[in-house]
Amino acid sequence: MNYFDKIKTAPLKEGALILAIESSCDETAASVIKGGREILSSVIMSSITEHVKFGGVVPEIASRAHTTAISLTVQKAVEEAGVSLSDIDAIAVTYGSGLIGALLVGVSYAKALAFSLEIPLIPVSHIRGHVSAGYLADIKLKPPFIALLASGGHTAIIDVKDYYTYNVLGGTLDDAVGEAFDKVARVLGLSYPGGPNIERLAKEGANAIELPVMLKGKKGYDFSYSGLKTAVINYVHNKEQKGESYNKADVACSFQCSAVGELVKKAIKAVKEKGYKVLSVGGGVAANGYLRESLEKACKKDKIKLVLPEKKLCTDNACMIGAEGYLQYQKRNFADLCLNAKAYVGLGENNE
Ligand code: KG4
Ligand code: ZN
C-alpha cells in the first residue's frame, strides 16, 4: 500500500498531536499543538535582521534562511513539547499564501517528514491560520463570530459561520493595512517592519493632521489603504519640497488613528449587523497596542466579547497553523505527496 492509501483510512485520534510548520514569509516556525487548542511548544526563528537593510523581505534571502533553520526549528519544537517524533499524529503545513520559495521549504520538509513517519499531511491556508489563533487565545471560542484579519498581506472582515464556512464580508481593495504601515514608516525614515516603529513614534505625537476619510460615502466592509498611504506620503513630500518643518510623530499618530479607526468601526458594525456576540482578531497588525486598546474600549461599550490573541500569536507563528490543522484533521483534509506550495490560496479550499 502506498503512503496516501495508508493514511487516507487511518483512524482519527481525539486530542491528536499536530506538528505544525510555517514558512510563508521571514519566520521559520514550528509548534506542537494538542487537540487544536493546547500549545505544547512554539519555536520561531526570524530572518528579519537580514532584510532590514533592504527595507522589506527579500524572497531569496528568506528562502535560504528557511533552508538553514527548518531542521533545527522542528527539532526544538518537538523537544520543547516533551514528546518524540513517533508521538506526532499529523503534520500541518502552510502551503499558501506567501512567498513561493519560502513556502516550498516548509512544504517539502513537511512532506518528507509525513512520508517517513507514515502520518497525515495537512495543507493549511495562512489566512485561516490567523483566524484560528483565536481558538488558542480562548479555548472556549466557538463559531459563529466575526473575525477581523489585519496583517501585512491581508485585511478582511470575515463571518465565521462554523469552523469551516467563512463568508468574507469585506476586504481591502488595494493595500493591506500592514503594508500601509510599512510604506508610511519608510517615508518617515523608519526601518522595516514599519508597524511596531510607527506605533512607537505615534506615542510621542498627536492626531493633528487631517487625512482623507476612507471610501467616503460607501457602505459595506471594504477597505482602501492606498489612498490613506498616498495622502501621508504627499503630505511629507510637500513639506520637504517647501523646506517646511513637520512633526513626524504627529504624522505617525494621525496615520495610525485613521488606519486603526476604520478597522474598529467596520469590525464592530459587522458583529452588530450579524447579531453575533463575539469578535476575534488576528494578523500582525493586531499586535498594535492602539488597535488593541481601541477594540477593547469599543467592545466593552457594545457588550461584545473580544478574543484578542497575545501579540506573539498575532504575528506569524506555527501555533495558529496547528490549531487550524486540527480542524482540517477532523475533516480528513489530507494531502498526498503531490502537495505544492501556492503563492495565493485565499481561505483555502472549502469556503463560501
Ligand atoms: O501577520 P504578519 O506577521 O505577516 C503577514 O501575514 O503579513 O503581519 C506582518 C505585518 C507587517 O506589515 C507589520 O508591519 C505589521 O504586521 N505589524 C504591525 C505591528 N506589528 C506587526 N503593525 C502595526 N503595529 C504593530 N505593533
Ligand atoms: Zn501572517
Chunked into runs of 10 residues, the chain (352 residues) has average pLDDT values of 90 97 97 98 95 92 98 98 98 97 98 98 97 98 98 96 96 96 96 95 97 88 95 96 97 98 97 98 98 98 98 98 98 96 81 48
Please work out whether the CB of residue 194 comes within 6 Å of at least one atom of ligand 1: yes
Please work out whether the CB of residue 153 comes within 6 Å of at least one atom of ligand 1: yes
Mutate to test the pocket of ligand 1, among 315, 316, 319, 321 (most ligand atoms within 8 A of CB): 315
Mutate to test the pocket of ligand 1, among 46, 125, 181 (most ligand atoms within 8 A of CB): 181
Ligand 1 atom with the smallest distance to the CA of 256 is 23
Q: What is the pLDDT of residue 10?
A: 87
pTM confidence score: 0.96
Ligand 1 atom with the smallest distance to the CA of 282 is 1
- Alpha-carbon distance of 77 to 19, in angstroms, equals 8
- Taking ligand 2, which is a single-atom ion, which protein residues have CB atoms under 5 Å away? 151, 316
Ligand with smallest separation from the Cα of 287: 1
Which residue in the block uniquely carries the three cell numbers 527539532? 75
315 Cα to the center of ligand 2, angstroms? 6
- Whether residue 66 contacts residue 75, with contact meaning beta carbons closer than 8 Å, is answered with no
- Whether residue 238 contacts residue 106, with contact meaning beta carbons closer than 8 Å, is answered with no
Which residue in the block uniquely carries the three cell numbers 463560501? 352
Q: Which residues make beta-bridge pairs with 156?
A: 149, 171
283 Cα to the center of ligand 1, angstroms? 7
Ligand with smallest separation from the Cα of 286: 1
Please work out whether the CB of residue 284 comes within 6 Å of at least one atom of ligand 1: yes
Q: Give whole-number Cα distances, 219 to 1, 138, 169, 173, 291, in Å.
A: 56, 31, 12, 14, 22
149 Cα to the center of ligand 2, angstroms? 9
259 Cα to the center of ligand 1, angstroms? 13
CA 190 from centre of chain: 22
